[in-house]
Amino acid sequence: MTRKGSAKWSGGLKDGKGQIFTESGALDGHPYGFAMRFEGVKGTNPEELIGAAHAGCFSMALSNILGQAGYTADSLEATSAVDLEQADGGFVIPRVKLTLKASIPGIDEAEFQKLAAEAKAGCPVSKLLNAEITLDAALV
């Protein structure tokens, strides 16, 4: 299975403009640029998209692991906070913090933490990222 995303860019780094596309059409020419990435201007950026992909992948991985253990979640609300920092003359993503609020009938805290950690480690996006990944998981 191969999924595609693409981007178009024109102009210089600070004055240029870009558009992001996904094969599915979910993003169809969505704008992005320097100010959206580095200056807090409203809009998307690569780190935000990585965070959304990671949160989605982790939630699906946990849903699968829960099902194999005999549980079905009422809700899994995941957030992935992706840190971008300047280092050695460039930029790196050193850390990603997953946060999960879950409602899962019949599960105890120890089992929940064990299965959530398993999903964090096994999620394909987690495996892709060359960053420290932490998880703060809570039953609600």
Chain segment 82-101, per-residue pLDDT in tens? 999 999 889 999 999 999 99
Give the residue among 97, 5, 103, 10 at the shortest CA–CA distance from 51.
Answer: 97
pLDDT tens across 49-86, in order?
A: 999 999 999 999 999 999 999 999 999 999 999 999 99
CA–CA gap between residue 103 and residue 138 (Å, rounded): 9
Contact 107, 79 (CB under 8 A): no
Give the residue among 8, 11, 105, 36 at the shortest CA–CA distance from 66.
Answer: 105
Amino acid at 63: S
Give the three-state DSSP class for 41: coil
Report the predicted TM-score, pTM, of the whole model to 2 decimal places.
0.93
Q: How many helices (H) and strands (E) does the chain have?
A: 4, 8
CA–CA gap between residue 66 and residue 104 (Å, rounded): 9
